[in-house]
Chain A
């Protein structure tokens, strides 16, 4: 691409991105009676997607994909973690040049974004760390390396149960810690790691409070808002994020006192799982909450799973702490790139019971084979426990919103009818 062409592509892409982001934010803000504390997040996303250049200009950025890259180590190396997984249709269109037509939109969009924004990072981007999770991430490593980006392959096993797998991953994470020091030019010390672990644990603790408020009866915050809050974690400064979340929690607790609910009594409680909803692609969650449902829980790597588990170590030395960090990122993982994934099945059932979910909505992005393939087992497992599930396969384009809304509405209506019957037969 010559300079003029590149300028035009960037201009048009930025406009498309702004339009998508604005549309999603308007749909989210459209729900009545939002907590004032959510304005921080709406503004943050507006500034990032609609303001001028959407690239953070921090000093040392270690970019990541997926959620397996240990953030504690990045923080301990005095660098800024930045999760790149993209939810933008605009970037998905561009990435289509590099990937097969039916392939993971998250990877396609991320590749599209990196392609268009080459040379705009300056010196700040020290590394893009990609764990060898699913096929498409693995091949993306090669494509992005070819573009000239500093890619770091973080080797993850395909199975997590054996000691072999555990050790393999611990070694990869140890090496990553050593390499991080090279990329950033900063030393990782025990103190720094402990501080980073505490910071992230604090963030997780805040999320757990939000999780409780979300699943309370009645629910105090919409699922779409919570997705937005957790997506913000990808890109926001962790201290600012914690502050904003603490403010939100305080407001929601006040609402609980004053008996203000996020929705009406008839809203059906939904557990959302599957391929991650990433801003601005909140198409399905928004549809669910526009159709009389409320997402009271989720099992996705762009939201709840980010905060589910903590690092536990015995000895306060790096030789013990770093493997403990590695364990935290592998052992509890319920990503379908792993086999077997029985933890996910168990987790979904437990979560559904715990949060009083009336039904489960399972989203698979077209081309995401791991999630597409697992839906059968999940459906079966849930059916055995008497939990209804709706399977939706979709992509980033807005064209199927009409059909999707009909299916979602019908599902929620069937849950309503089911509950009415339950009450009658009691």
Chain B
């Protein structure tokens, strides 16, 4: 049995996906990147192999992507996360309508990728200069409100009042703003909802550069947050499609590319 690996080494988390010859995800793992990229990625990879009972030799091709892609010596090829994300999104999306916009919110960046009708990348825009509209903003919020990041969506759902407006776009200034709002007795739920709208507004501003048509696909770790998804739909004023496993979309795309590259080499692939 041959397997193909996609490794997305992000600024905040490492995602590894292994697929079989039919493109099914057979194993995946997500863990913190930490400071030692190579060591932590190796550990995650070896751990994943052990947990899923797969031998290293059975993984016949590996593509790495993401911020730290060039640092992982074990991969056969590297690819930008923009391309990997586009391929992963198209692979995961079951809708017949072709995806035209991909919004990816990562730990430290925010990307909008515009695709043409054939699924090729036409254009993209990034915010990688500041933490506004990124996972970091959510982490800061969770820390200050003393909740877990993956609980934020639940709190948003419970909000009864109007979401609190967060005026600062800068994460650093927004932190002060949130702390003072909290001190003034505002509810956690409404504050969290307000944070989601603030991020969504920032994202919408970037996304609107491309005048969105067609299906909008949203991935990255923060896409697991249903509150954020709802806020994004409100700010974009359109429906947004989120895959079941949004955080590993890019790694999945890298794995698909690994399969394609191996296939191109003329080797037979057993199902």
Residues of A within 8 A of B (CB): 5, 8-9, 11-12, 15, 18-20, 22-23, 30, 50, 398-399, 401-402
Contact indicator B237/A5 (Cβ below 8 Å): yes
Q: Which residue of A lies closest to B194 (CB)?
A: A19
Contact indicator B235/A18 (Cβ below 8 Å): no
Q: A19-B197, A398-B167 are in contact. Are A12 and B162 (CB under 8 A)?
A: no
Bound complex: CA of A9 vs CA of B233, how far in Å?
11
CB B125 to nearest CB in A, in angstroms, measures 20
Contact indicator B167/A12 (Cβ below 8 Å): no
Q: List residues of chain A with CB within 8 A of the CB of B173.
A: 402
Contact indicator B161/A12 (Cβ below 8 Å): no
Contact of A50 among B162, B184, B194 (CB under 8 A): B162
CB A415 to nearest CB in B, in angstroms, measures 26
Q: List residues of chain A with CB within 8 A of the CB of B163.
A: 15, 19
Contact indicator B237/A8 (Cβ below 8 Å): yes
Provide the main secondary structure of the chain A interface. Answer: helix
Jot down 11 A-B pairs with beta carbons below 8 A, ordered by A. Answer: A5-B238, A8-B238, A11-B234, A12-B237, A15-B162, A15-B163, A19-B197, A22-B165, A23-B164, A30-B184, A399-B169
Contact indicator A9/B162 (Cβ below 8 Å): no
Bound complex: CA of A20 vs CA of B194, how far in Å?
11
Counting residue pairs across A and B whose Cβ atoms lie within 8 Å, the total is 36
Bound complex: CA of A30 vs CA of B185, how far in Å?
11
Contact indicator A22/B162 (Cβ below 8 Å): yes
Q: Which of B169, B194, B235, B237 has the most CB of A within 10 A?
A: B237
Q: List residues of chain A with CB within 8 A of the CB of B169.
A: 399
Q: List residues of chain A with CB within 8 A of the CB of B162.
A: 15, 18-19, 22, 50
Q: A22-B161, A22-B162 are in contact. Are A399 and B234 (CB under 8 A)?
A: no
CB A16 to nearest CB in B, in angstroms, measures 9
CB B110 to nearest CB in A, in angstroms, measures 19
CB B84 to nearest CB in A, in angstroms, measures 31
CB B200 to nearest CB in A, in angstroms, measures 10
CB B160 to nearest CB in A, in angstroms, measures 12
Bound complex: CA of A77 vs CA of B197, how far in Å?
45
Q: List residues of chain A with CB within 8 A of the CB of B234.
A: 8, 11-12, 15
Contact indicator B165/A20 (Cβ below 8 Å): yes
Bound complex: CA of A20 vs CA of B173, how far in Å?
19
Contact of A12 among B165, B184, B235 (CB under 8 A): B235
Bound complex: CA of A5 vs CA of B239, how far in Å?
10
Q: Which residue of B lies closest to A10 (CB)?
A: B237
Q: A11-B234, A12-B235 are in contact. Are A399 and B184 (CB under 8 A)?
A: no
Bound complex: CA of A20 vs CA of B164, how far in Å?
9
Q: List residues of chain B with CB within 8 A of the CB of A18.
A: 162
Contact indicator A19/B167 (Cβ below 8 Å): no
CB B180 to nearest CB in A, in angstroms, measures 11
Q: Which residue of B lies closest to A9 (CB)?
A: B237
Bound complex: CA of A5 vs CA of B169, how far in Å?
27
CB A293 to nearest CB in B, in angstroms, measures 21
Q: List residues of chain B with CB within 8 A of the CB of A402.
A: 173
Q: Which residue of A lies closest to B186 (CB)?
A: A26
* CB interface residues, B 143-166, toward A, < 8 Å: 161-165
Q: A19-B197, A30-B184 are in contact. Are A398 and B165 (CB under 8 A)?
A: yes
Q: Which residue of A lies closest to B184 (CB)?
A: A30
Contact indicator A401/B167 (Cβ below 8 Å): yes
Q: List residues of chain A with CB within 8 A of the CB of B237.
A: 5, 8-9, 11-12
* Closest A-B pairs by Cβ, 8 of them: A8-B237, A22-B162, A398-B167, A23-B165, A12-B234, A18-B162, A19-B165, A12-B237
> 0/1 per residue, B156-200, Cβ < 8 Å to A?
000001111101010001000000000010000000001001000
CB B240 to nearest CB in A, in angstroms, measures 12
CB A123 to nearest CB in B, in angstroms, measures 29
Bound complex: CA of A19 vs CA of B253, how far in Å?
39
Q: Which residue of A lies closest to B234 (CB)?
A: A12
CB A64 to nearest CB in B, in angstroms, measures 29
Q: List residues of chain B with CB within 8 A of the CB of A9.
A: 237
Q: List residues of chain B with CB within 8 A of the CB of A11.
A: 234, 237
Q: Which residue of A lies closest to B190 (CB)?
A: A22
Q: List residues of chain B with CB within 8 A of the CB of A401.
A: 167
Bound complex: CA of A399 vs CA of B235, how far in Å?
18
CB A280 to nearest CB in B, in angstroms, measures 10
Q: List residues of chain B with CB within 8 A of the CB of A23.
A: 164-165
CB B185 to nearest CB in A, in angstroms, measures 10
CB B238 to nearest CB in A, in angstroms, measures 7
Q: List residues of chain B with CB within 8 A of the CB of A5.
A: 237-238
Bound complex: CA of A8 vs CA of B165, how far in Å?
20
Bound complex: CA of A160 vs CA of B194, how far in Å?
49
Bound complex: CA of A18 vs CA of B237, how far in Å?
17
CB B159 to nearest CB in A, in angstroms, measures 12
Q: List residues of chain A with CB within 8 A of the CB of B194.
A: 19
Q: Which residue of B lies closest to A397 (CB)?
A: B167
Q: Which of A9, A15, A19, A398 has the most CB of B within 10 A?
A: A19
Bound complex: CA of A30 vs CA of B163, how far in Å?
17
CB B104 to nearest CB in A, in angstroms, measures 22
CB B201 to nearest CB in A, in angstroms, measures 9
Q: List residues of chain B with CB within 8 A of the CB of A15.
A: 162-163, 234
Q: Which residue of A lies closest to B181 (CB)?
A: A26
* CB interface residues, B 188-220, toward A, < 8 Å: 194, 197
Q: List residues of chain B with CB within 8 A of the CB of A12.
A: 234-235, 237
Bound complex: CA of A398 vs CA of B174, how far in Å?
13
Bound complex: CA of A399 vs CA of B164, how far in Å?
16
Bound complex: CA of A11 vs CA of B173, how far in Å?
29
CB B267 to nearest CB in A, in angstroms, measures 48
CB A77 to nearest CB in B, in angstroms, measures 37
CB A404 to nearest CB in B, in angstroms, measures 12
Q: List residues of chain A with CB within 8 A of the CB of B235.
A: 12
Q: List residues of chain A with CB within 8 A of the CB of B197.
A: 19
Supplied contacts A23-B164, A23-B165, A399-B169, 9 more A-B pairs, CB within 8 Å = A9-B237, A12-B234, A12-B237, A19-B194, A19-B197, A22-B161, A22-B162, A399-B167, A401-B167
CB B100 to nearest CB in A, in angstroms, measures 16
Bound complex: CA of A12 vs CA of B233, how far in Å?
9
CB A277 to nearest CB in B, in angstroms, measures 18
